[in-house]
Every structure is written in C-alpha cells, then in structure tokens.
Amino acid sequence: MNKLFPLSLFFLFVCTYASAQNNLPAAYEITNDTTTYTKLPDRYWQMLEDREGKLSFDEVSRSPIAEKFHFNQVKNPQFIHSIDAYWFRYVLKNTMAHSTKIYLSGSGGHQDFYFVAANGNLTHEVNGWLTPWSKQDGLKGIGVITVELKPSEQLVVHLKASNCL
C-alpha cells in the first residue's frame, strides 16, 4: 500500500500536466540533419504576453493561464516594450533513427528555457546577453541552449524571454 501512494501521485502529476497542455501546438518534426538556421513556422509555436514579467512556469503551464497562449497573428511581429516578458511554447519531435542535437535561442536579454520530457521530467536552463556569465547555461556569450533528442523523442519547450529586442 505504501508503494502505491507515491506511484499514484506521480500519475496524478503527469495526468494534470498533460490535461493542462492539451492545447499545445502540433509537434515540429525533425526529419533530417542540417546545419542551416531554421525559423520555426508560425503554426508550430504559440505565445503569451506577460505584461509585468511575473508569471512563473507553473502558472503558464496550468489552467487558466495555459489556455491564454495563442498563435502569432501578425505578419512581422514586433515586441512591445511595455510588456516585460513574452512566453513562447512549442513541441519538438525527432523522427530520425538517430539522436540529434538542437541549438535553441531566443531574442531576450534574459531567457528561461523550460524543457518537459514525455516522462514529465522538467529541466530549466537560462541564457541571454543580460544574464551574468556565471549563471548562463549552454553556449555562453551567444545565447544558445543545446538539447539532445533521441530517436522518436518529443520535448515540450517553454521559453520566457525578458528584455526583448
């Protein structure tokens, strides 16, 4: 009985997270290796304006705030500087038969990347030109975070970009 309770809590957490994320955009499928810069097409990512820059990952990944993410509606989006932060979310899926490394960047002076694996594991990494060097993850100085995806692996990415250019 004691072993059943922690297992039940784990499934409750996974089911709660999954139900809060049922309106995620379609997964962007990685189908080949490339060294070319690729901009994620609009249909694969969503955004959320965080006017005061105070929303946490827990808040934006659960109802009711998670439902406020929306697709980009502007042809040439410009950051509104009266908005302190923007949240972006997208799903990456490796459809190749081998692992691949993905290099992710944003346009914020401070960037918080939250990675949620299919098993519910959460990883948080920070970068950006306003982030102190000692606190930067990934490729320091150029604002890039590296993630590795195994074959058939899917990853949900949330990015909080503050002090956007």
| Antiparallel, parallel or unpaired: β 108-117 and 122-127 | antiparallel
DSSP 83: S
Which runs of E-coded beta strand occur in 45-153? 45-50, 70-71, 85-94, 100-105, 108-117, 122-127, 144-149
CA angle 156-102-10, nearest 5°? 30
> Is 146 in contact with 139 (CB distance < 8 Å)?
yes
The two tokens of residue 70 are 């929306």
Sign of CA dihedral 30, 111, 83, 65: positive
Q: Cis peptide leading into 64, omega within 30 of 0? A: yes
Q: Residue 131 CA to chain centroid, in angstroms?
A: 18
* One pLDDT digit (tens) per residue for the chain, 165 residues: 444 333 333 333 344 444 445 689 999 999 887 766 678 899 999 999 999 999 999 999 999 999 999 998 776 666 666 788 999 999 999 999 999 999 998 878 899 999 999 999 999 999 998 999 999 999 987 889 999 999 999 999 999 999 876
Neighbours of 33 (CB within 10 A): 9
Distance CA 73, CA 71 (A): 6
pTM (2 d.p.): 0.82
